[in-house]
Chains A and B, each alone.
Chain A
Amino acid sequence: MASGAVLPRLLGSGVRAAPRGRAAPRGRTLGSAAAAAAPEPERDSDFSARILSEPLKHSDFFNVKELFSVRSLFNARVHLGHKAGCRHRFMEPYIFGSRLGQDIIDLEQTATHLQLALNFTAHVAYRGGIILFVSRARQFSHLIENTARSCGEYAHTRYFKGGLLTNAPLLLGPQVRLPDLIIFLHTLNNVFEPHVAVRDAAKMNIPTVGIVDTNCNPCLITYPVPGNDDSPPAVQLFCRLFQTAVTRAKEKRRQLEALYRLQGAPGPHPANPASPGVQAGLGLGVAP
């Protein structure tokens, strides 16, 4: 399977997004001298280290695999690409074939990539990272902004000003914190050119997740997800998936914090390692 060759590279990069300790300045603060972190009490550092390291011990801590299936992607028309003439050269590995001149995206690969992307998004949200949803399609602007607002993250579906990421201290404020993850629901802008934020995020070392259609360039995107970005059901499905992943991760974080606070100092382990994902019945009093 082509995914076998693709996966090691991506997994490597995914794992190498190692947890940054709380000692360093939060996220990507620009234009600020690194403030010396105050020495935290022993208990607190134990706490935070355990909370942050716990999800990394499992391959799918947030159980994002159950959120979708190849059948659900097919029903949402995610496999439909553009005509063969619009095809981008670097999308050829992800294309299953072409029917009557229309490219069909390989949903097996999409599923793998989507699982990686959702997992990464969930981890970023778990660690309190800032997630920015970017798109330039006017048709879905309202939907994406609502999605971002409902999961407590940020959206930018408007005209992208030139130095927003690269010249942020000037445009947004002196001590602004940049996004920790940028999710592109549409990689192209209204003139079918790559969105400026793709390049700028790469410049600023911000990881990106992007839904790449058959006419998009997947090169600079950290976690590309080949899929249809023009049909409303497809975009609605993706919005729903990202929203669920982010909310699940935040909920999990709240639960674990409460759990550890109740248990106190001694090292806890997750109550049920077999299904670490959020079950509806996972209450607070499950501690042994």
Chain B
Amino acid sequence: MAAPCMSCGAAASYRLFLAGRVSFAREQGLWKAAASGLQTGTRCQILRLKHSPGVTKKNVAALRRESYTVDFIKKQIEEFNIGKRHLANMMGEDPETFTQEDVDRAITYLFPSGLFEKRARPIMKHPEEIFPKQRAIQWGDDGRPFHFLFYTGKQSYYSLMHEAYGKVLHVEERQDQLRAKGLFSEKPKTKDPIGSRWLIKEELEEMLVEKLSDQDYAQFTRLLERLSALPCDAAEEEFVGRFRRTVTIQSKKHLIEPLQYDEQGMAFSTGQGKRKTANAEAVVYGHGSGKIEINGVDYLLYFPVTQDREQLMFPFHFLDRLGKHDVTCTVSGGGRSSQAGAIRLAVARALCSFITEDEVEWMRQAGLLTTDPRVRERKKPGQEGARRKFTWKKR
């Protein structure tokens, strides 16, 4: 059997593979026995492949939830490590510095798969990620459970609640002591509310390896909120931090280009924008009188309709810089309205270089920096248009 621990996404396939091998061995045994029977000169029997009940039992066992022993997992980890080294040798790379990304790349190279379902493609990952985490036996040889809250049923969750509540009491006690000494000062909580969130219920379940109900999760969140609202020191902050995850702030993703300067020393910045099938590229100059030139034509002539000119005006109006910038842009594709929208997006992006980060965040929240994802919906057969159906006639 190939040394690397490779499985197509689920461990069930491993069991089926194993089951197949066992039945094959059994058939081999039957064949040998039958052959020896022939040789001894007994009368010819038609060799029938016996479908032994053991095979079916094994398949039924595979359907039940598998529980993996500690030794089994250890063996899998050893096989995985050996397999990783083999793979590195195969790819001609150094086995010592062969990371998981290299492994993934090697597997996609050696076993190209056109399957759409990503989880059905061949993977080679550490057994910790493949086999689900399980509870070891909770009690010792004498039958006494290890954890003091074992008989509640949810020992990890309740011990977590116990710990958190203990910390709350401790902090309140400290506050009382400070108040008694007269050293207590109301310090406002300086913590960034945006940027991190509490663990969701599934993440908490995974962390505790226990099933939780919605009420349990709500209680947990409430208790931690209460703890974080109190003035905590480093240890308690670290405890609370274990249950928070950072949230990527959208605006940080947007890279702001630095200003460029042309021969006259005038600051300018470029931006690109798209809307439906229109593409626009705009150059915004730092100082100007509010002139806008599109494809070499003045905006008043290019966009006779007021609505389109209002679209061009929107970014400047939002930032109170109506008559302060000059714009030169090129646009192609689309119709009148989509060209106006494309230029608006390009201008807004170009303007980001001239303004503060807060103003960029306000623009992002106003929707000026987002490409409008709406495109024309295709016409479907059996209908007159994308949504419009043919006239329904009763008879």
- Docked-complex contact A142 and B162, CB < 8 angstroms: yes
**Contacting residues of chain A (139-191) with chain B, CB-CB under 8 angstroms:** 142, 145, 148-149, 152-156, 158, 161, 164, 171-173, 175-177, 179
Give min CB distance, B79 to chain A, whole Å: 30
- Given the complex of chains A and B, what is the CA–CA distance between A154 and B162 in angstroms? 14
Give min CB distance, B164 to chain A, whole Å: 11
Closest residue of chain A to B169 (Cβ to Cβ) is A142
**Contacting residues of chain B (164-211) with chain A, CB-CB under 8 angstroms:** 165-166, 169
Task: Please judge, given known A-B contacts A142-B165, A145-B162, whether A156 and B143 are in contact too, CB under 8 Å.
Answer: no
Stretch of B111-119, B146-154, B245-253, B343-351 contacting A (4+ beta carbons < 8 Å): B146-154
> Helix, strand, loop or mixed for chain A's interface?
loop
B145 close to chain A: CB less than 8 A: yes
A51 to chain B: which residues have CB within 8 Å? none
A155 to chain B: which residues have CB within 8 Å? 148-149, 151
- Docked-complex contact A171 and B153, CB < 8 angstroms: yes
- Docked-complex contact A173 and B138, CB < 8 angstroms: yes
- Docked-complex contact B150 and A26, CB < 8 angstroms: no
- Docked-complex contact B152 and A156, CB < 8 angstroms: yes
- Docked-complex contact B151 and A154, CB < 8 angstroms: yes
A128 close to chain B: CB less than 8 A: yes
- Docked-complex contact B143 and A177, CB < 8 angstroms: yes
B139 close to chain A: CB less than 8 A: yes
- Docked-complex contact A176 and B139, CB < 8 angstroms: yes
B144 close to chain A: CB less than 8 A: yes
A145 to chain B: which residues have CB within 8 Å? 148-149, 162
A29 to chain B: which residues have CB within 8 Å? 143
B145 to chain A: which residues have CB within 8 Å? 130, 154, 176-177
A132 close to chain B: CB less than 8 A: yes
Give min CB distance, A50 to chain B, whole Å: 20
Give min CB distance, A204 to chain B, whole Å: 13
B299 close to chain A: CB less than 8 A: no
B354 close to chain A: CB less than 8 A: no
B158 to chain A: which residues have CB within 8 Å? 158
Closest residue of chain A to B158 (Cβ to Cβ) is A158
Closest residue of chain B to A182 (Cβ to Cβ) is B151
- Docked-complex contact B149 and A156, CB < 8 angstroms: yes
Q: What is the total number of residues of chain B having a CB less than 8 Å from a CB of chain A?
A: 19
Give min CB distance, A285 to chain B, whole Å: 29
A27 close to chain B: CB less than 8 A: yes
- Docked-complex contact A154 and B153, CB < 8 angstroms: no
Task: Please judge, given known A-B contacts A128-B142, A177-B144, whether A158 and B152 are in contact too, CB under 8 Å.
Answer: yes
- Docked-complex contact B153 and A161, CB < 8 angstroms: yes
How extensive is the interface on chain A, given as a class? 20 to 34
Closest residue of chain B to A25 (Cβ to Cβ) is B143
- Docked-complex contact A26 and B153, CB < 8 angstroms: no
- Docked-complex contact A149 and B151, CB < 8 angstroms: no
Give min CB distance, B99 to chain A, whole Å: 39
Residue in B148, B151, B166, B169 whose CB lies within 8 Å of A172: B151
B144 to chain A: which residues have CB within 8 Å? 128, 130, 177
B152 to chain A: which residues have CB within 8 Å? 156, 158
**Contacting residues of chain A (26-55) with chain B, CB-CB under 8 angstroms:** 26-27, 29
Task: Please judge, given known A-B contacts A26-B142, A128-B142, A173-B138, whether A154 and B149 are in contact too, CB under 8 Å.
Answer: yes
A179 to chain B: which residues have CB within 8 Å? 151
- Docked-complex contact A164 and B151, CB < 8 angstroms: yes
- Given the complex of chains A and B, what is the CA–CA distance between A172 and B166 in angstroms? 26
- Given the complex of chains A and B, what is the CA–CA distance between A105 and B6 in angstroms? 71
B149 to chain A: which residues have CB within 8 Å? 145, 154-156
Give min CB distance, B330 to chain A, whole Å: 68
B151 to chain A: which residues have CB within 8 Å? 132, 154-156, 164, 172, 179
- Docked-complex contact A149 and B148, CB < 8 angstroms: yes
- Docked-complex contact A172 and B162, CB < 8 angstroms: no
- Docked-complex contact A142 and B166, CB < 8 angstroms: yes
- Given the complex of chains A and B, what is the CA–CA distance between A176 and B149 in angstroms? 14
B142 to chain A: which residues have CB within 8 Å? 26, 128
Give min CB distance, B166 to chain A, whole Å: 7
**Contacting residues of chain A (240-285) with chain B, CB-CB under 8 angstroms:** none
Give min CB distance, A121 to chain B, whole Å: 16
- Given the complex of chains A and B, what is the CA–CA distance between A148 and B166 in angstroms? 15
**Contacting residues of chain B (126-161) with chain A, CB-CB under 8 angstroms:** 137-139, 142-145, 148-154, 158
B162 to chain A: which residues have CB within 8 Å? 142, 145
Residue in B139, B153, B165 whose CB lies within 8 Å of A164: B153
Closest residue of chain B to A158 (Cβ to Cβ) is B152
B139 to chain A: which residues have CB within 8 Å? 173, 176-177
- Docked-complex contact A153 and B153, CB < 8 angstroms: no
B138 to chain A: which residues have CB within 8 Å? 173
Closest residue of chain A to B216 (Cβ to Cβ) is A159
Task: Please judge, given known A-B contacts A142-B165, A142-B169, A158-B158, whether A27 and B153 are in contact too, CB under 8 Å.
Answer: no
Q: Name, among B138, B143, B145, B154, the residue most crowded by chain A CB atoms within 10 Å (CB to CB).
A: B143
- Given the complex of chains A and B, what is the CA–CA distance between A148 and B149 in angstroms? 9
- Given the complex of chains A and B, what is the CA–CA distance between A254 and B154 in angstroms? 32
- Given the complex of chains A and B, what is the CA–CA distance between A215 and B154 in angstroms? 31
- Given the complex of chains A and B, what is the CA–CA distance between A155 and B158 in angstroms? 11
Give min CB distance, A258 to chain B, whole Å: 19
28 sampled A-B residue pairs with Cβ under 8 A: A26-B143, A29-B143, A128-B144, A130-B143, A130-B145, A142-B166, A142-B169, A145-B148, A145-B149, A148-B148, A149-B148, A152-B148, A154-B145, A154-B148, A154-B151, A155-B149, A156-B151, A156-B152, A158-B152, A158-B158, A161-B153, A164-B151, A173-B137, A173-B139, A175-B143, A176-B139, A177-B143, A177-B144
Q: Which residue numbers of B lie inside 8 Å of A, CB to CB? A: 137-139, 142-145, 148-154, 158, 162, 165-166, 169
> Which 9 pairs between the two chains have the least Cβ-Cβ distance?
A177-B143, A149-B148, A158-B152, A156-B151, A26-B143, A156-B152, A154-B148, A154-B151, A145-B162
Given contact pairs A158-B158, A172-B153, A173-B138, enumerate 5 new A-B contacts (beta carbons under 8 Å).
A128-B144, A145-B149, A152-B148, A155-B151, A164-B151
